[in-house]
Chains A and B, each alone.
Chain A
Amino acid sequence: MTALLEIKNLHVKVEGEDKEILRGFNLTVNPGEVHAIMGPNGSGKSTLSYVLAGKDDYEITEGEVLYKGEDLLEMEPDERAAAGLFLAFQYPVEIPGVAFMTFLKTALNAQRKTRGEGELSTPDFMRLVKEKSTALNISQDMLKRPVNVGFSGGEKKRSEILQMALLQPELCVMDETDSGLDIDALRVVSDGVNALRDAERAMVVITHYQRLLNHIVPDVVHVMAAGRIVKTGGKELALELEQSGYAAFTEAA
């Protein structure tokens, strides 16, 4: 079986700066697996998610990232998305003037087109959005607004999961999806994520706290510190961390 995602000895720094943020990061994710990456602030978690999605501003100095066996780093951000990689942003940007529905439809059809699939008709698209949004408790009013504009923190996160549900990616990278969510919203979001779990789809859940992992139960838990993975274990590792804190790992790194 080919791994879905293989990160080998990845070294990354911010463009124009000297400090390395990822310092020999390794990770292999197979289809159907849910990996949690936990770590303290500043350990490089968000950098990892941006590098996977292809944001500029970072310089890869060493290492490689293979996605379905192909060089991910050579692909444009939209090509990665079309290839099935989805990033749920920690801070989804507001895009004034671009209607949410227009955005969703453009994104979905662009991906379908790149994959050689036909465009979805407007009625089919509307039906699909209605179905997915109801499950996530997303109101029609939210759908009428411009992308993320005026959304509360919780609404922004639900909007991310709605996009994930619509686009049906193969690899979901979720960056601090639990931040800013109250307990009810956390449940709605987690249910949305769990509904997407299947034997083919893999997930990388990046989080600072263990509480999200009560809802989205991972197969593997990694502890990240100072730009690399310092410990890997089962779901019980998260509980252990909750008890002992990150200090021990930070020192080890």
Chain B
Amino acid sequence: MSVEVRVVQTAAEEAVPGQFEAVAGTLPGSPEIQAERRAALARFQSEGLPHRRVEEWKYTDLRRVLGAMPPPVQPTGAPIGPETLAELDAWKIVIVDGAITCWPEALADEGVSVTRLTDALAGADGAGLLEGWQAEARSSILDLNTAFMATGVVIAVPDGVHLAKPIHVATVTTVPEAAAVTLRHAVRVGANASATVIESYEGPDDVSYLVNTTNKVAVGRDSTLTWVKIQRDGTAATHLSTATIDVDQGARLTCAPITIGAALSRNQFAIAFDGEHADVNVTGVQMLGGRQHGDTTLFVDHALPNGASRELFKSVLDGRARGVFQGKIVVRQDAQKVDGRMMAQSLMLSDQAEADSKPELEIYADDVQCGHGSTSGRIDEDLLFYLRARGIPEVTAKALLIEAFIGEAVEAIGNEAIAEALSSLAHDWVVQHAGGGASNGGADA
């Protein structure tokens, strides 16, 4: 990270200390936590928002694009359910404008413990939420989150517990004007256990609210976690997300970031192998149109031998959207026999769209099989012609091909019900966007 002497603060940066003082008294946590909040705030103030001179933020210059910092949300707790995955049979936790409105009391019967962030921060466990973040997950956005974190869920799946139904943490924003929702979650899966956790985000179009959400995930020995994050925030929203994920020996993690919404979004994931023979499968999709900017940045740290990771990331870009994918596979010294494969593909539906891809390999062990690939282009004319020669109209043919393109990533999640729900979301998006000519800039939102 380059160190730069910063003189001028942006309006967004300037607003932060005042906003903090205004709510400091109401933020949850023990005195130690309050001290951590102030320390994080101080770090944010000295570092400022991430900008393009910070290599990891090269394509997403928050200093430039984040014009204003919305004030912390006033929780309303309106009784409203999520639209996203509403049909899915799951244990629902609903957070409306920063207030938890739906809580799955019966989960305890399954042996799974869920705790509100406010309770977690008050207890001895609170510090655990702040410690152990990987370096690649740290940023001034995480600091901002630590300073303001107000709501969240700590999910703990004890050893030997296999939870059949997914847990769905739905974040719904209804605010009529700009506000910031700051969430801190944690998911801990013990040994020989399994669970599926879905996070979803949605909110009103045309309100420039901000969601800053973080998650600290740990997958225990020989356990399985499927973690899906579906971001459908409103068209004017900013969505910032950070996760640090530790994967223990023999564990299997599937991580699926799906980005559809928000004017500006950044997903930052740092995944580290804490044990051998673990298996990580990252499968992501972003579908962007209009002037949306979506950035998914992923670090996979093979610190130990015999790990395997697969990363597949698909972007479909329409209008003047800009899709960014950065993925870095690191193989540390002595982490022999690592198998790491990353593929990033962009499908461009409009001439004004932009796809930026930076798949990186940083390899320090010799007996490894690592590779990455990146492609970008528009819909293959030969495939389109074949479909049309069979009588399928152009728009339908395009939709078929776009859905097939996304389908590979959706199927890799390995959960039929979720794949079906996502396919339906993808279908809705494609129906809106396949109409534009392959070569002209589809007029969009």
Contacts and interface: CB of A to CB of B under 8 A. Distances in A.
Instruction: Establish whether A and B are touching in the complex (CB under 8 Å).
Output: yes
Interface of A: 53-56, 76-78, 80-82, 86-87, 89, 92-93, 95-98, 102-103, 106-108, 110-111, 114, 146, 163, 167
A247 B385 CA distance: 34
B388 A98 contact: no
Contact of B391 (A89, A97, A114): A114
A148 to B, nearest CB: 9
A82 B391 contact: yes
Nearest 6 Cβ contacts at the A-B interface: A97-B404, A81-B391, A77-B388, A111-B391, A107-B390, A78-B388
Given A97-B408, A106-B396, A54 B387 contact: no
B393 interface: yes
B350 to A, nearest CB: 19
Contact of B386 (A80, A95, A102): A95
B404 A78 contact: no
Interface in B376-398: 380-383, 385-394, 396-397
Given A80-B389, A95-B404, 6 more contacts: A54-B388, A77-B388, A95-B401, A97-B407, A103-B400, A110-B393
B405 interface: yes
B404 A81 contact: no
Nearest to B393: A78
Chain B contact residues: helix, strand, loop or mixed: helix
Contacts of B381: 56
A155 B397 CA distance: 23
B391 A167 contact: yes
B405 A81 contact: no
A54 B389 contact: yes
Nearest to A115: B391
A77 B389 contact: yes
27 contacts: A53-B385, A53-B389, A54-B388, A55-B385, A78-B388, A78-B392, A78-B394, A80-B389, A81-B389, A81-B390, A89-B386, A93-B382, A95-B386, A95-B401, A97-B401, A97-B408, A98-B400, A98-B401, A103-B400, A106-B392, A107-B387, A107-B392, A108-B391, A110-B392, A114-B391, A114-B393, A163-B390
A207 to B, nearest CB: 20
A111 B389 CA distance: 11
Contacts of A55: 385
In this complex, the member of B385, B387, B389, B400 whose beta carbon has the largest number of chain A beta carbons within 10 angstroms is B389
Contacts of A167: 390-391
Nearest to A99: B404
A114 B388 CA distance: 13
Nearest to A146: B404
A23 B391 CA distance: 29
Contacts of B405: 97
Nearest to A88: B389
Contacts of B382: 93
Contacts of B388: 54, 76-78, 81
B75 to A, nearest CB: 43
A56 B380 CA distance: 13
B391 A92 contact: no
A106 to B, nearest CB: 6
Contacts of A87: 389
Contacts of A92: 386
Contacts of A53: 385, 389
Nearest to A169: B391
A52 B311 CA distance: 43
Nearest to A97: B404
Contacts of B408: 96-97
B409 to A, nearest CB: 10
A163 B392 CA distance: 13
Contacts of A96: 404, 408
Contacts of B389: 53-54, 77-78, 80-81, 86-87, 89
Contact of B387 (A80, A103, A108, A146): A103
A146 to B, nearest CB: 7
Contacts of B403: 97
Contacts of B387: 95, 103, 107
B20 to A, nearest CB: 48
A108 B391 CA distance: 8
